[in-house]
Amino acid sequence: MFQVLELVLMELRQLEYFIAVAEEGGFTRAAARERVAQPGISAQVRRLERELGQALFDRSGREVRLTQAGEVFLPYARAAIRATVDARVAVDALSGLLRGRVTVGMLTATPAGDLVRLLAEFHAAHPGVEISLREDTSDRLISSLLAGAVDVAWVSVAGEVPAGLESVVLTEQPLVAVVGAPDALGGSASVRVSALRDRVLGCLPVGTGLRAALETACGAAGFQPRVGFEASSPEVVVSLAAAGMGVAVVPAAVGAAAAGGGAAAASTGPDSVRAATGDAAAGAASAVPGSVGTVAGSEGAGSAAEDAGRGGQVRVVRLTHPVPVGRVVLAWRGGDGLGPAARVLVETVRAGLVGR
């Protein structure tokens, strides 16, 4: 069914539509992504199914799902598209022209400052390359990288990236606890992670690097975190902690901003990552210029956290034994899994951010 001769008979557009429906989970979203009418994309996918003699999607539920045949066919469809693009790029390279399409993943709610600048520079240098942006959580972006749906992505991780991916660290900083001023925990400059065992915690949702870092640290201390509230923005989590809902666990820079820039937000002891108090905390987050507080999909140290700090509503406490660490990396597929245009983009980002 999946022989090369049969693939030659299929139009590349059919394969692109099939991939879009598979990745978007529905024909309406796929049509919006491809900028075509839904009936047109549905007709092309059905034509592809007739040529294959197999149903590629289960349309019986509210959400379209791949059938077993669709699951098997998807990597071949992606490979066919990549091969076609690479062939065009190879020919264009003879004249020094770079073409193709690069899909860039970015964390939900990440500030776009440096990303926009670097993409603009890349586009100016290589106008023949189409750039597509996709926002999601770190876990989903990593899965998309491994599946070939995303070429390069900004992701937050608690440790190393999975096998099959390569990465470079963009920024790294410790996580801290933020509590409302009346909370007894706020009377300490630092506490062991084990002090959070019986506390209601606030953090980013499952699937983010911040959440993974918290769970890893708590696991090392012998317990599972009791997360009672969560939000996609750490500044919102801080505001909820200031209102007395529990203990927020956020990047040091966000904690420093919440306390008005003067809170202690450093890691100490043999596990220390680095000091990050006051302005240094902002510096820890701004290792990637223009993205203060960017860890695990966070926005910059925003007004919600700053408002809480200006009123003296919060206290920031360092966490030790172990020190939870949030890390944002640029990740891409290793080996031969990256096309020429994506490789050039990776080098552009590395030179623009990491090389500073």
pLDDT of 214 reads 94
pLDDT of 43 reads 92
pLDDT by residue (tens digit) across 205-263?
A: 998 888 999 999 999 999 999 999 999 888 999 999 999 999 999 999 899 888 875 43
pLDDT of 21 reads 92
Rounded to two decimals, what is the model's pTM? 0.61
For residues 252 and 80, what is the distance between their CA atoms, to the nearest angstrom? 45
Contact partners, residue 23, CB within 8 Å, separation at least 6: 30, 144, 149
pLDDT exceeds cutoff 70 at 294: no
For residues 311 and 1, what is the distance between their CA atoms, to the nearest angstrom? 67
266 confidence band (pLDDT: 50, 70, 90): very low
Class for the domain spanning 173-327: alpha beta
List the single range of 33-37, 68-72, 243-247, 271-275 with lowest mean pLDDT: 271-275
List the single range of 62-66, 202-206, 315-319 with lowest mean pLDDT: 62-66
pLDDT of 355 reads 54
pLDDT of 104 reads 92
Place of tokens 């590395």: 350
Q: In this structure, which amino acid lies at residue 175?
A: L
Domain boundaries, the chain: 1-96, 173-327
List the single range of 57-61, 95-99, 170-174 with lowest mean pLDDT: 95-99
Task: Tell me which fold the domain 1-96 belongs to.
Answer: Arc Repressor Mutant, subunit A (1.10.10)
